[in-house]
């Protein structure tokens, strides 16, 4: 397993181009199962999760090739409907294979994804939606058996749950409904930009979807879908991570490649905190060191357009260095605070009260050996290491590689002192 060593305190200056959005790319890859024609997907990030989804599509029978770096050709001509446990268990997003398999083959057998470190990851809303479309749903020995061969038809579906809408649940139901006769209306649909991106691609393939970007989608089923060429939208979470990095120390980072309109809640919160943020154009934001002027915040994570849970850990690092008391409350994954014990080891002053982190800003963090636990927690630790005094070693960095393409190279190009190595090469005093 790899680790990264970060020597904190170097100012970061320059421009970073963010990659395509992981959470758009994964359902978009799954959507290629909806047609037997070739789909060409561009601006695909080089991530372990993406390569893994490609592996699953191949296992199902699709022809999958990365023709040039970042561009993939996928042809799902002859496919089967079973996604096995040994593949699905490694990536939760594989649940979004259910929808396209039902849409195309009218049946699917997909292993239950299980939970993960950020919390329970139920799929009850997905399954409720499939039932409403006329699919039989059975769960046996860890697998979900979906059978719509008896006849699926459009229906009205309310997809809201105890934590609001479901992103991959919405993706799944859209992909099942686009090839289901009749009209499907999804109320309380997720309207994350990644869902809008998936819908844009499906429209190119010939799907009939109304209400893009809203919580209410109307889908008119069609007979078949065609291949397409589609470019994945920029990753708003990667962009937000680099914007937060720009606010640390004496940094000055220009972040390009993501729609500013996809980051409204983050930018609004940073403005409220008196951060030095300049919007250059619709896809470019400049962030400069602001720790001497930042004000504490109260942040509550919510479904889009609310504050994204995927930026909560990164904001916790920023607030850990902001004078005063900040409160970060997790309404999506109440346990998503695995980064906090590691930040405490670096000198942060944070206590967890239920679903809230009470953050008392300190004037500096100290480098330390820390452990990554999940994708966004590892990003929070990287940010902490960049600003901490001294050396930080982050172990289990494979978590980071799931969602950030070449982040060490991107940070190094901005002036960071960050080195990646195998854990066997760590100095004895760290291991």
Q: Considering the rule CB under 6 A, would residue 313 count as an interface residue with ligand EPZ? A: no
How far are the Cα atoms of 3, 6, 412, 426, 428 from residue 423, in angstroms, in the given order?
Answer: 6, 14, 20, 5, 10
**Token duo for residue 315:** 């904001």
- Which of 53, 64, 70, 54 is closest to 19 using CA atoms? 70
Per DSSP, helices labelled H in 160-275 are: 167-177, 193-204, 236-246, 264-272
Q: In the complex, what is the shortest distance from the CB of residue 5 to ligand EPZ, in angstroms, rounded to a whole number?
A: 24
Secondary structure class of 358 (helix, strand, coil): strand
Interface residue with ligand EPZ, options 45, 154, 169, 369 (CB under 6 A): 169
- Counting residues that bind ligand EPZ (by CB under 6 A) gives 27
Catalytic residue among 25, 39, 116, 228: 116
How far are the Cα atoms of 43, 72, 201, 404 from residue 69, in angstroms, in the given order?
Answer: 9, 8, 20, 16
Q: Considering the rule CB under 6 A, would residue 167 count as an interface residue with ligand EPZ? A: yes
Active site residue 116: yes
Q: Considering the rule CB under 6 A, would residue 23 count as an interface residue with ligand EPZ? A: yes
Interface residue with ligand EPZ, options 33, 34, 110, 125 (CB under 6 A): 125
The one-character DSSP state at 54 is H
Interface residue with ligand EPZ, options 124, 187, 271, 298 (CB under 6 A): 124
Which is closer to ligand EPZ, CB of 99 or CB of 169? Answer: 169
Strands 298-301 and 325-330: parallel
Q: Taking contact as CB under 6 A, which single stretch among the options 5-13, 22-30, 130-138, 417-425 is the one that binds ligand EPZ? A: 22-30
Query: What percent of the chain is helix, strand and coil (3-state, nearest 5)?
Result: 35, 30, 40
Which is closer to ligand EPZ, CB of 8 or CB of 330? Answer: 330
Site residues (CB under 6 A) for ligand EPZ, limited to 244-303: none
- Exposure pattern of 3-24 as b/e (b: 16+ CB <10 Å)? bbbbbbbbebeeebebbbbbbb
Strands 208-210 and 63-68: unpaired
Site residues (CB under 6 A) for ligand EPZ, limited to 92-111: 92-93
**Token duo for residue 370:** 């820390």
Q: In the complex, what is the shortest distance from the CB of residue 301 to ligand EPZ, in angstroms, rounded to a whole number?
A: 8
Q: Considering the rule CB under 6 A, would residue 35 count as an interface residue with ligand EPZ? A: no
CB 170 within 8 A of CB 195: yes
Q: In the complex, what is the shortest distance from the CB of residue 381 to ligand EPZ, in angstroms, rounded to a whole number?
A: 14
Mark 186-225 with x for binding to ligand EPZ (rule: CB under 6 A) and - for no binding.
----x-----------------------------------
Interface residue with ligand EPZ, options 176, 188, 403, 404 (CB under 6 A): 403
- Which of 395, 278, 275, 284 is closest to 345 using CA atoms? 395
Q: Considering the rule CB under 6 A, would residue 166 count as an interface residue with ligand EPZ? A: yes
Q: Taking contact as CB under 6 A, which single stretch among the options 20-28, 63-71, 197-205, 361-369 is the one that binds ligand EPZ? A: 20-28
- Which of 14, 10, 9, 12 is closest to 255 using CA atoms? 14
Interface residue with ligand EPZ, options 18, 30, 177, 332 (CB under 6 A): 332
Which is closer to ligand EPZ, CB of 49 or CB of 408? Answer: 49
The sign of the torsion formed by the CA atoms of 197, 38, 404, 350 equals positive
Which is closer to ligand EPZ, CB of 93 or CB of 318? Answer: 93
- Which of 362, 290, 350 is closest to 323 using CA atoms? 362
- Which of 295, 301, 299, 256 is closest to 276 using CA atoms? 295
Q: Considering the rule CB under 6 A, would residue 408 count as an interface residue with ligand EPZ? A: no
Interface residue with ligand EPZ, options 121, 264, 364, 396 (CB under 6 A): 121
Q: In the complex, what is the shortest distance from the CB of residue 146 to ligand EPZ, in angstroms, rounded to a whole number?
A: 14
> Catalytic residue numbers?
116
Binding site for ligand EPZ (CB under 6 A): 22-23, 26, 92-93, 120-126, 161-163, 166-169, 190, 309-310, 332-333, 375-376, 403
């Amino acid at each position: 397993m790899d680790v990264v060593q970060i020597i904190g305190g170097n100012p970061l200056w320059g421009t970073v181009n963010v990659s395509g959005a992981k959470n758009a790319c994964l359902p978009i890859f799954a959507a290629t199962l909806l047609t037997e024609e070739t789909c060409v997907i561009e601006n695909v990030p080089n991530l372990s999760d993406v390569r893994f989804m490609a592996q699953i599509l191949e296992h199902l029978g699709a022809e999958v090739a990365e023709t040039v770096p970042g561009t993939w050709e996928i042809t799902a001509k002859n496919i089967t409907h079973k996604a096995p446990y040994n593949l699905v268990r490694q990536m939760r997003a594989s649940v979004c294979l259910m929808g396209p398999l039902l849409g195309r083959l009218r049946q699917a057998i997909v292993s239950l994804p299980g939970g993960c470190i950020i919390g329970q990851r139920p799929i009850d809303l997905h399954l409720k939606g499939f039932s409403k479309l006329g699919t039989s749903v059975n769960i046996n020995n860890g697998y979900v058996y979906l059978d719509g061969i008896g006849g699926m038809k459009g229906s009205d579906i309310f997809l809201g749950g105890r934590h609001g809408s479901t992103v991959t649940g919405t993706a799944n139901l859209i992909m099942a409904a686009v090839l289901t006769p009749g009209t499907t209306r999804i109320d309380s649909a997720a309207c994350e930009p990644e869902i809008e991106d998936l819908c844009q691609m499906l429209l190119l393939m010939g799907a009939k979807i109304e209400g893009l970007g809203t919580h209410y989608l109307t889908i008119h089923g069609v007979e078949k879908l065609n291949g397409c060429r589609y470019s994945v939208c920029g990753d708003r979470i990667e962009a937000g991570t680099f914007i937060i990095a720009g606010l640390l120390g004496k940094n000055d980072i220009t972040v390009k490649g993501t729609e500013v309109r996809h980051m409204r809640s983050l930018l609004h919160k940073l403005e409220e905190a008196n951060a030095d943020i300049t919007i250059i154009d619709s896809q470019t934001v400049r962030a400069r060191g602001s720790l001497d002027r930042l004000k504490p915040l109260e942040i509550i994570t919510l479904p889009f357009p609310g504050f994204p849970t995927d930026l909560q850990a990164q904001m916790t690092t920023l607030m850990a260095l902001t004078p005063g008391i900040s409160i970060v409350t997790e309404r999506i994954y109440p346990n998503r605070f695995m980064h906090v014990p590691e930040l405490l080891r670096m000198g942060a002053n944070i206590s967890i009260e239920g679903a809230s982190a009470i953050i008392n800003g300190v004037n500096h963090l100290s480098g330390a050996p820390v452990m990554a636990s999940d994708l966004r927690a590892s990003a929070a630790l990287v940010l902490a290491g960049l600003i901490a005094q001294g050396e930080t070693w982050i172990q289990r960095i494979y978590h980071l590689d799931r969602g950030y393409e070449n982040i060490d190279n991107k940070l190094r190009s901005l002036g960071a002192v960050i080195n990646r190595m195998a854990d066997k090469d760590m100095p004895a005093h760290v291991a």
